[in-house]
Chain A
Amino acid sequence: MNWESVIGLEVHLQLATRSKIFSGSATTFGAEPNTQASAVDLAMPGMLPVLNAEAVHYAVKFGLGIGAKIGKRSIFDRKNYFYPDSPKGYQISQFEAPIVGEGSFEISLPDGSTRSIGITRAHLEEDAGKSLHEDYHGQSGIDLNRAGTPLLEIVSEPDIRDATEAVAYLKALHSLVTYLEISDGNMAEGSMRCDINISLRPQGSSTLGTRAEIKNVNSFRFVEKAIQHEIERQSDILEDGGTIVQETRLYDAQRDETRPMRSKEVANDYRYFPEPDLLPVVIDDAYILDIQHTLPELPTTKRHRFAEAYGLSNYDASVLTDSRPLADYFEVVVATCNDAKIAANWVQVELLGQLNREQTSLAQCPVPAADLGGLITRILDGSISGKIAKQVFEAMWQGEGSADAVIEARGLKQVSDSGALEGIIAEVIAGHPEQVQQFLEADEDRRKKLTGFFVGQVMKASKGQANPQMVNALLAEKLA
């Protein structure tokens, strides 16, 4: 039997506001336990929530970014359950009337194709605190710093078909939210967490199978593996004629498997009802329009534009538009050197490679975009070869200045003066009479190899600065 997998992702995104969604506590990561937990966050008697304007702003921004309907009258609800990381005994969330309705956005796959994935809704809610399992004489310690951090829960339609698409979706989402500057979307730090809903059905069927939910997967790689493992697990069961149990599971990275969650809310009745301490959030068209005007060019639009305007492949355009700073950087490079293809190559391979090796972010890159553009210009105008350019780039990285400054200081200017080159060539020819003889007696293949030898000698004699194209042309003349 051929099975197809039906996958929906629920992403919990921490919004990058300064203060929490319902209290004025700070949201900075990594503070000492419970130093960012106010009386409201601790659910002390008599405490009440007040809604952070920026959280609403960011949610609407996201909604506009996915072309969604904005809920002009959204309601907060209490989601009731008991757990130590949820001090009120309920989480304030949104149930029937979320702030963002149906939307969609485009994802880019490694093979260059694109797909549109539907978003069912996105709503605002508060994050829970953390249980630390370091043993305190058989007890767990609860840190409520994170309790109350604003979350946007983004629910996709079950449009995703495999692990690759899932990862592409998450990458595209990360891109979008960083473009919009509403979150740093960092899975490793927990500012973007993913729950996976996955079921299988016979290929071509239109009914949904029973799904399992895999909670809190915190890296692209783990999402990929968890889905792959779960597809295998479920198809094994179904092949054997068994049924899938609808349950919540966890991905165990060490064992590379999913297993059922032991405790938390077993068959929970959340008893949702409108939060009486908060009033309906009403926003008008003017508010929405104002935000619309502040939206940057979105990743998908930028990617399409790059592919068209710069003649780039979908894949290259994707890489270069992954973040706004990178896209902006690239465009400055192109504006400076006027060659998109070379610029694309240099940015993707040399620049990103170097940043990666040194674990540096683009924000801390020592080579300004215009300077890289300047370097490429010098390749294009023949001042230096591609090979020398790499040396120059390294020097620029070390802070030796612009491309011109380095070329000047190190005397790396490519020798393209035919007179000078002829001089060097004449010396090389004179110095290697045997090889010259072999060349004259050789066939075409062997001649190519020998030419390479002579070119190498010329390059050596010129300390790599001879213009290789010219050397080739002149050698051809001289050796004829």
Chain B
Amino acid sequence: MNKRLAVAVALAAAFAAIPAAQAGSIAPTFNVTVNLTSKCQVTTAPTDVAFTTYTSFQGTAATASTTYGVQCTNTLPYTMALDTTATNTVAGLTYALALSAASGTGNGAAQSYTVNGTMAAGQGGTCALGSCSGTEGRTLTITY
């Protein structure tokens, strides 16, 4: 009898220790982390700056241009430049290239720019035939 009583008392004590109808809450915190490496990329590469046809000693300057696209991380500043080792000469004709902008700030989307080329009038060029074609490779560099 004593044993039964003792068991009953123990069970009652156990249930009494559990908060039956009362709900509690906890709010653990955690962080979401990332290491973002900023980057720029050329989305649309420039095509050739083609001066098409230039006639020796022609009276008007020749112009040509090409467009390209740059996509950079949002708020990332960057600069754009052309290589400086080029001769700026094709078929003996001197030309000049200029960028529509020398720098920019990324906004996450592709941004469009232009390379403008000018070939002054009155040049003779170098050509032993009736016509010649000339090509010079150039490089556009985005620094960020």
Chain B associates with chain A: no
* Residues of A near any B CB (own CB < 8 A): none
* Residues of B near any A CB (own CB < 8 A): none
